[in-house]
Structures are given as structure tokens and as C-alpha cells.
Amino acid sequence: MSEQKKLGFTTRILHQDRQRTIEHGAPHKPVHTSVTFGYADARDLAAVFQGRQSGFRYGRQGNPTVTALEEKLTQMEAGRGSICFATGMAAIGALFQGLLRAGDHLVSSRYLFGNTNSLWQTCSEQGIDLDLVDATDVAFIAAALRPNTRMVFVETIANPRTQVADLARIGQLCRERGILLVVDSTMTTPYLFQARSVGAGLVLHSLTKSIAGHGNVLGGVLSDTGLFDWSGYPHIAAHFRALPSTQQGLAQIRAKALRDFGASLAPDAAHQIAIGAETLALRMERACSNALALAHMLEADTRVAAVHYPGLASHPQHALATELFQQFGALLSFELSPEIDCFDYLNRLQLAINATHLGDNRTLVIPVAHTIFFEMGAARRQEMGISDSLIRVSVGIEDRDDLLADFAQALNR
């Protein structure tokens, strides 16, 4: 295992745990269910609490099974460290809880997952100045920056309209201006895209999606790439200032967000996510190739008015996506021609399931304007490019011909 850097993505996921002593030679880390951890010498307990000695204190702040997953995820992102949360939204919420204060300015892509959009509205009501901008062109981000801008937040490929952020140039801009760039890479996963390559300081994933992959567990993670200099970040608590600069961000988030708000990942969930992660690359290969085939088929059909998928030459950011990502992801959205009712169409699908969620082994479909993006209202949907007939498809790993046949037969009737 000393040749670690030369190993491939999946080899590293499979064998990373074995770098540490493993109990009984078991290839899987055990699930530690204890919420507390005892010490023979009370001085050790005090040293752990004061951060002078490594060790576990209480399950809300850390657990050996969760730590093993955090180490796996850190390695997947080639980062410095990671913190897991109960859900992806808890990881996004931790940015607000741990790093933003009233009077700060947040610049975010306006192409966002609906609940992130909702959270940013809450932040704005609680004193954060918020600018939502078109992140497909760095010029819009640059124009929005102010002296009090603390954070720039973007999704790699936006859910659900698949706009691709101008990641490399946004990373460069943030680096030059000393601003923290946070990238939600849920759609791309560490297999398709390494956020560190564009200079992001923090990268986040909803682990619920492709990383766990089987639609049976919730989780989220924030990983620090080690590229951001936290020594100049204003809100780090005084006692974390003594740490090396690269550790200050996660120390702050672990205490002020995870510990104080308590959205901790359960050890059973961490174990399931670690198992799912082992096959991430295999599942992504299959799902991305299915998505590309389905996008081509739908685009060629005159009964389909528009298809949004970064792998299509017609996608406005196709060239950008080709430069940035290993493949184009497993999510696409499309609009039927006006004479076809989108609900009738969805009801004719036999394999694809009418359901929310994405990054599942099974193909899932949803009429977004009427469901997950309903609450935000028509005006905001229009800004995000979401029409009433938009159907989001989270493409699974079914056999390709079966999948294409299902979407074709639903058009034919």
C-alpha cells in the first residue's frame, strides 16, 4: 500500500481502510454503536477534550465508523479532511452555521437544488446579503463580488436543468481575491470531477445520491481540499487559531455546526455509504453511458421539444463540460412538445419510477415544476430555466436497451 498515489480510483476505495490496523483482518470497518468512549486515565479524557490528544468523546462529534468513511471521502477528493453529516442539506446548512455571520455577503449560483435555494432565502432573512447569479460565466460572479463577500457557492452540474458552472475560471477568480469557493459536486461525484483541480476550498456531496447509490441511506459530507488559507477567514473561533491554518476551517465547522447543531451521521448509515462507495466508478460509468444514449434518443425525436444534458453538442456548456468532467453525469431533463401532457407521459413509463431523489441504481423521473420546485413559485422557476413541462430523469444502471425502449414506448402511445 506504500504505492498509494499510483493506485486507481476504485482500488483506493477498496483498500484504503487497510492502511490502518484492521481488527481480525476484516476488510470492512466494524460498526461502532457506542455513543460514548471511556478512558482509563481521566487525564487522557481531558486531553482529548482539549484537543491535545486524538480520540473520541461523544457520538454527536465523531465516531470511529464515521471517521473511517470521512477518511475514505477525503482520499476520494484528494483533500485534507472531511466531516460527514446526517444529510446533504445538513452539510450545506453547516456552511451557514459554521462560517457565515450577519452582514456577510454570499454569492451563489442561481441554478440550484430547490432546498439549497430555500436555505439561502432563510440565510438572507437572517442577515446574510445574498446574490444569486448566473454561474455559467465567471463574469457574473466577478461583477457580484464585494469587499464583504465571504463565500462563492456553485453546483458543478445544476440540478435539474444541468447548467454547468464556469468552474476553472471561478476558482481562479476566488483564489486571486482570497474568497472561499464551495462546490456542490453531488452531480459529478469525485469520480467525474475533482473540485481541488479548480481550486475549490470546500467540496460537498449529498452522499445519499450516487456515492451511496442504492437509495437506502441519507448522508452528506464537506471535504476541505487544503487549498484555502483559513488564517484570514474572520469567523474562526479564537481557540482554533492556534491550529495550523489548513485545519482551522474544519475545526470550526465540526464545533460550531456539527457539534452545536447536531446533524450527525449515524454509524450504520456511514457503514452503508462506505459499502455503496466501493462501486461508485462502476455505477457511474454505466449510468453516464445510459444517460448519454437516452439524451441522444430523446433529442432525435420530434415529439421532444428540448433535452438538457451536458453531453449533447447542443448543450450551451458542452465544451466546458468536456474540459471539466470525465463524463457528463447521470442526470438529464427534457421537455415534451406541447401536445403531450407530461403527467400522461410519465404514467406510461413502466420501468422508470415516478419518484423524487437521484443518483439511484433505478431510473427515477419527476415533473419538477409541480413537485420539488413547486414551492419557490413561477418567477423563480423561470429564472432557473424550469418550464412547467420539464421532466427530470435520474438515469440508473438498467440495461440500456430496456431503458431506451421504455422512454420510446411512452412516446409512441
Q: Point out which residues bind ligand PLP (CB under 6 A).
A: 87-89, 113, 155, 159, 184, 186-187, 206, 208, 218, 220, 358
Least Å distance between CB 265 and ligand PLP?
Answer: 11
The CB-side HSE value for 33 (13 A sphere, CA atoms) comes to 1
The single residue listed with the C-alpha cell 438538457 is: 308
Beta carbon nearer to ligand PLP, 94 or 352: 94
Beta carbon nearer to ligand PLP, 251 or 288: 288
CA 298 to chain centre: 27
Beta carbon nearer to ligand PLP, 59 or 220: 220
Least Å distance between CB 409 and ligand PLP?
Answer: 28
Beta carbon nearer to ligand PLP, 158 or 251: 158
Least Å distance between CB 134 and ligand PLP?
Answer: 17
Q: In the bound complex, which residue of the shown chain has the CB atom lying closest to ligand PLP?
A: 88
Q: What angle do CA 344, 357, 353 make, to 5 degrees?
A: 35
- What is the amino acid identity at position 112? L
Beta carbon nearer to ligand PLP, 248 or 272: 272
Q: How far apart are CA 408 and CA 293, in angstroms?
A: 12
Least Å distance between CB 125 and ligand PLP?
Answer: 20
Least Å distance between CB 299 and ligand PLP?
Answer: 23
Least Å distance between CB 276 and ligand PLP?
Answer: 13
Q: For residue 153, which of 163, 143, 169, 167 has the smallest C-alpha distance?
A: 167
- DSSP for residue 130: E
Parallel, antiparallel or unpaired: strands 353-354 and 149-155: unpaired
Q: How far apart are CA 254 and CA 248, in angstroms?
A: 10
Distances from the Cα of 34 to the Cαs of 138, 146, 155, 273, in angstroms? 47, 46, 36, 19
Beta carbon nearer to ligand PLP, 161 or 315: 161
